[in-house]
Structures are given as C-alpha cells and as structure tokens.
Amino acid sequence: MIRRYDFGMPMETGAVVETVSPSQGDVPFFTVDKLGPRFSLALGADDVIFGLGENVRGINKRGHIYRSWNSDEFAHHENTRSLYASHNFLLFYGEDKLFGAFFDDPGALEFDLGYTDARQAVITSENGDLSLYIIQGDSLTDIVEQFRKIIGVSYIPPKWAFGYIQSRWGYASDAELRKVVKEHRERHIPLDGVCVDIDYMQDYKDFTWKPESFPDMTQLNQDMKQEHIRLIPIIDAGVKEQEGYFLYDEGVEKGYFCKKEDGSNFIGAVWPGRSLFPDFLNDDARRWFGEKYRLLLETGIEGFWNDMNEPALFYTPEGLEKAFDEAEKARGQNLGIDAFFALKDIFGQVANKPEDYRSFWHDFGGKKVRHDKVHNLYGYFMTRSAAEGMEAYNPDKRHLLFSRASYVGAHRYGGVWQGDNTSWWSHLLMNLKMLPSLNMCGFMYTGADLGGFSNNTTEDLLLRWLQLGVFTPLMRNHAALGTREQEIYRFGMQEDMKNILTVRYALLPYLYSEFMKATLGGKCMFRPLAFDYPGDKRALRVEDQVMLGSECMIAPVYEQNARGRYVYLPEDMLLVRFRSAADYDLVPMEKGNHWIDLQLNEMPLFIRKGCIIPLSRGGEWVDDVDFRSLTMLGWADEAAYALYDDDGMGKNYDLEKNTRVITLRGGEAVGDGLTLKNAVLKA
C-alpha cells in the first residue's frame, strides 16, 4: 500500500510515473514538524535503515548524517555527506517497523539517521516543497517492488555493455586507443569497450573532436568494430563560451542556457574554461542538446557517459572576483595564523559554492525556478536528454548510457557509475555496499571504477577489485590522469587478472539473465542478506556480503594481503572457488560461520543449496560467448533455472517468450535448444 503526502508546492520531478493521489490526514510513523518540514521517527535499538542509493558508509545507513545535494566529491570518504547522486528512498526495518519512505524533493534534504541522537531519525527538507510516499508491505522485497513499480521500469543497456570496458582519463588519440585495444587482443584479455574521456574533444567542447588526433572518427569506429570494440565517449554538462562554436551560438540564440535573475546567461567555469549550462529542465533545450549526440552516433558511436552534471562548478566569475577582493585585503598585513588559514581557504572554497547555485534559474514547466530548488534534477534531465536524443536517432536499438549525477527518475534513462572513488581497499568495500542500495532505488546498470580512480592502485588491489567487478553490470577499469597506469597488461599479475575476466564472460548468461529478470520485474539484482533471510538476526548485520540474483551470494576479499576471509552462510551453500572459467573447486558448505581460503588469484561465489546456475565457456567479447552451450553448477538433485536471453540489441523484452527453463532431474540437466553439461554435486 502506497500513500502520498504533499507539503508546500511539490515539483513535478517525474520520479514517480504512476498516479498516487495525495492522502489527507496524518503521516504514519513520522512526527511532522511543519517548519522545515521536518520528519522525525524514534529508532529502536535494533532498527535497521536501508536505502539512500549511492552513498558512503554502510548497507545499514544508521549512525551518520547524509545530505541529498548532488556534489562533485572527488575525494570522498567516510565523513562525506553528499555524493554525486540523491536517491531519497529509505527502508525502515525493525520490531515495530516495516515500511519504505520516498522523499520526492529535488532540493537539499538532510537525513540525520541517528547521528545527532542515536535513537532518532530526523529528515529535513530545505525547500519545504515535497511529496512524501509511505510504502507498506509484507516484506522488504515487496516494498521495494511496490516502489519500483511507481517509479517505472529501469534502463536496459545493450548486451555488449556487460562486457569488460577499459577506460582512462588521458587517452588522447586515435593511435592510443588502437594501442589499448591491441594490447588486450594480443594477450587474449577479454574486452568490449573503451571509454574515451575529455581528451578527445577540441578544447573540451562537447560534440567536437581534435582533428589532428582523430583524423577520421568513422574509420576509427569501423576498425574498432572489426575488433568487436565499441568506443564510448564522454559528454560534459558545460558548454564552452566561444563565439563561432556551433553549440554556444545556437544555445545563446535560442535562449537554451541557464540564466541569472536579470536574464543574462549564467557563466561557470569547468574544463572548457568559462562555460554555459544547457537548461536540461526545459523541454526544448533538452531536446536540442539531445539531438546533438547524433554528431557522434553518425560516426558509429553507440554509447556515452555523461559527466560534470551535478553540475560541478570550478568557479564563477563573480565568485572568483570576490575571492580576489578578499585576498587583496590580506596583502601587506601582519597576518595572524587564523587569518592566514582563512586566506589559504579563500581560493579553495571557490568551487561548488552554495551561493553560486542560488544565482541561476531554470525555465521548468513554464515557470522560472531558482537552481538550488531543483539542483538534484540537473544530471537526471541531462541523462534524459541524451537518452531521448539517442532514441530519436534509432528508436529500435538500445544504447549505452551512464551518468555521474542522478536522482530517482534518471534510472529509466540510463545507468550510473559510482563516481570518483580512490584506489583504497576501503573503497572496494564501500562500492560493494552501494550495490543493493542503488538497486532499491532503481539503478540497475551500475559499477565502480575498478582499481580506483584517484591515487595509484596496486596490483593486488586491482586484482581483488576485478573479482568484485566480475558481478557488476557495468564492469569498467577507470583511472585518473596522472595516476599509475592501470590497464591489466601493465601488471605482472596480468595472467591472474585475465583469468578473473574469463569468469565474468563465462558467467554472462547468468548475469545477463538475472539483470533482465530483476530489471523487468522491479526486483533487486543485489540485495542485503536481510531481504532473503528475514528471521535471521546474524544475516541482518552482514555488511560485506550481498545476495546476487535469486541463486547466489557474493563475498569478495577487500583487505590487502588477505589470503581468505570469514563468511556467514545463512543456509547451506556451494562454494565455487574460481581461478578461471575453466578452473574452479566446488565445496559444499553448511550454514554458519566459516573461514574460506582464497589466494590472490581465487574468488568465491556461493550458490544456494538446491539451486543451479549456468556457466558458459566464455569468450573474448560478449558476442563470442555461446549462451546455449552451458554447464550447470550447483548442489542439488532436483532444481530448475529460468534462463532469460534475447538478441541484446532490440527492445522486445518479453520475459515469458525470452525465458527457457532448465531442469535438473536425477542429476541430469535438460533444457530446450541448449547443450547442457553438469558440474552438479548431489544433495
């Protein structure tokens, strides 16, 4: 059951696509203080809070303060309160509580989840204009399904986007990209795509490329496709201020950029220098920008990533001017140390200033709306712009798209990557924890920068991170400019890394099938253990293992120099200890606590007793994988697996038509039109 309560004048965010009429009367569970408004709720000692999508800290979000305010938090850590996304959906779970709450509010929201007072959750809206949805159901799964139903079916990428993608900020030419591909192919390291970062653009101008470094984009794409590789260029939110640049000229002429209160164009500096910001919230401007993707689609590009769309602002001319004034005042003075530190901070605080976000306006639904009121929609509507542009270009074909900033609603148009993580072991674990939370909020196509974005990775960290990435729909190795080179072939352990990739490609039939079934059914592909074992008090507290699909649990190693880890099995499970797709042990294990040995080149997957999953022979790119010749893995006598498959490109996602059931009877697996072998242990 879903009830909606309105406060102030809620915005039409488009997050919810089904009609839920507003209820009168009191909001259940929360005490509402109309000033704010502020919603408070007493927390029992054992209550758990799930949700909030892309965020720091635990799967259980209790004990911290989070702020929904899409932020370019390049150096985030445990104390960070805002990341790139705002996903305002929470699940409250405890003795007297089982409900979901979605705060549809595109401005700043504060979630004080037992931070100020450990026994209380207090949620405050800065706008005061919002719709609150309270969802009650029989189980956590049921509540999420109801929520996912009202926010609409999540984005589905082409099948090739489930392949391994190599990326780096700094790939600057046609020759360099070809070299990256060649190094992979020569060593038979599987690969399906290469992300092209801002370095391809002419002066960081969207929809342009440097002619001297990319003399023939069409030819390059053709040659790459011969190698079964797709190039995936980046598009940034800011448009360079430069007369003669078509995007600038057209946008200014048509009035499609965000404006200041006096009607002049708002300027903020990002990579291209002084830039203007397309008003993605305006239908015409959104369509106009979206159509420009055609310029790259026509050269053979089939997917994009969108960046800087919080939007990030390195500075505004006004902010910079003020900083100079402030700094000037200090000149020639005998500076005390406090004043000295204040001086040091002046330029450090020029970026992403709250007052700058209050200084420009949108034309949203025919109304002038100040940016800070709708800040968290900007990336979402940029994603929508790109998705609609690509759909208009080729309505029958899927395209790859993932964004940095997002809000619930964006999940229908594209995926997200988890932002600029750091090459830290703690971030490997943090990225695991985000997976179920993101799924709850509708974001299914997601993954983190494997190996870590900022700072230098280490060989073992990349290897262990790949062992997590094997399971994430978006599997991309990405690193920042100036950091240690992070392509697999740079490392001594490349053979082990390659072997881990063979596991990914062998598992593709399973991963794709589970992704599609979860996405089409409004379910989570990744879940906290509590979703599947509701009565199990130990499972409720597990923060470093998550359920994957209907049959499996994952528990990656996330500590340096570890040669294994502890796991908690909430039921009997079969451990598959993979070294490669062709080399693995099957170890039946009983419910309970276990130490599992895992050498650096080994990764675990747990299959629930009584279940079977398909394993293919793998391949070097997605289309090279035979989805019909499968080995069934499991610990069972009688079992069934529903395998979803389709052409990977079109949009006929008929669950029933595209699913075949593989049954196991007396240890023998049977399925129509499939060649099946068994690696099944008798129960």
Active-site positions read 307, 310, 420
Phi/psi region, residue 231 (left: phi>0; alpha: psi -120 to 50; beta: rest), is beta
Sheet order of strands, 273-276 included: 239-240, 273-276, 268-270
Minimum distance between the CB of residue 169 and ligand MIG, rounded to whole angstroms? 4
β-pair type (89-94, 97-104)? antiparallel
User: Which residue number, 481 or 582, has a Cβ lying nearer to ligand MIG?
Assistant: 481
Minimum distance between the CB of residue 590 and ligand MIG, rounded to whole angstroms? 43
How long, in residues, is the chain?
683
Minimum distance between the CB of residue 284 and ligand MIG, rounded to whole angstroms? 28
User: Which residue number, 64 or 478, has a Cβ lying nearer to ligand MIG?
Assistant: 478
Closest CA to 603 of 625, 582, 575: 575
User: Which residue number, 420 or 532, has a Cβ lying nearer to ligand MIG?
Assistant: 420
Q: What element of type H or E holds 121?
A: strand 120-125
DSSP secondary structure of 13-42: --S--S--PBPPSPPSS-EEETTTTEEEEE
Inter-helix orientation angle 378-393/283-291, to 10°:
50
β-pair type (109-113, 97-104)? unpaired
Gap between the Cα atoms of 230 and 449, Å rounded = 18
User: Which residue number, 169 or 424, has a Cβ lying nearer to ligand MIG?
Assistant: 169
Q: Which two tokens stand for residue 374?
A: 């709708």
Q: Are 457 and 545 in contact (CB under 8 A)?
A: no
Q: Which long-range contacts (C-beta less than 8 Å, at least 24 apart) are formed by 582-590?
A: 582/502, 582/617, 583/499, 586/633, 586/635, 586/679, 586/681, 588/635, 588/681
Gap between the Cα atoms of 275 and 316, Å rounded = 9
Residue 464 gets which letter from DSSP?
Answer: H
Q: Which residues contact residue 162 at a Cβ distance below 8 angstroms, ignoring those fewer than 6 apart? A: 192, 473, 475, 508, 511, 512, 515, 622
Minimum distance between the CB of residue 307 and ligand MIG, rounded to whole angstroms? 5
Q: Are 71 and 83 in contact (CB under 8 A)?
A: yes
Q: What element of type H or E holds 629?
A: strand 629-635
Residue 452 gets which letter from DSSP?
Answer: -
Gap between the Cα atoms of 248 and 397, Å rounded = 30
Minimum distance between the CB of residue 198 and ligand MIG, rounded to whole angstroms? 4
User: Which residue number, 476 or 517, has a Cβ lying nearer to ligand MIG?
Assistant: 476
Gap between the Cα atoms of 509 and 630, Å rounded = 9
User: Which residue number, 128 or 233, has a Cβ lying nearer to ligand MIG?
Assistant: 233
Q: What element of type H or E holds 150?
A: helix 140-151
3-state secondary structure of 286: helix
Minimum distance between the CB of residue 330 and ligand MIG, rounded to whole angstroms? 29
Q: Which two tokens stand for residue 495?
A: 């053979």
Closest residue to ligand MIG, Cβ-based? 169
User: Residue 334: phi, psi to the nearest 5?
Assistant: -85, 95
Query: 641: which strand partners?
Result: 662
Exposure on the CB side of residue 37, measured as CA atoms within 13 A: 20
Minimum distance between the CB of residue 417 and ligand MIG, rounded to whole angstroms? 7
User: Which residue number, 282 or 454, has a Cβ lying nearer to ligand MIG?
Assistant: 454
Gap between the Cα atoms of 537 and 124, Å rounded = 31
Minimum distance between the CB of residue 235 and ligand MIG, rounded to whole angstroms? 10
Cα–Cα distance list, 411 to 362, 414, 618, 670 (Å): 22, 6, 29, 36
Which spans of this chain sit near ligand MIG (rule: CB under 6 A)? 169, 197-198, 234, 307, 404, 420, 478
Minimum distance between the CB of residue 236 and ligand MIG, rounded to whole angstroms? 7
3-state secondary structure of 571: coil
3-state secondary structure of 137: coil
User: Which residue number, 156 or 232, has a Cβ lying nearer to ligand MIG?
Assistant: 232
Residue position matching structure tokens 């505004």: 316
DSSP secondary structure of 152-166: -PPP---GGGGSEEE
Q: What element of type H or E holds 322?
A: helix 317-330
User: Residue 197: phi, psi to the nearest 5?
Assistant: -85, -175
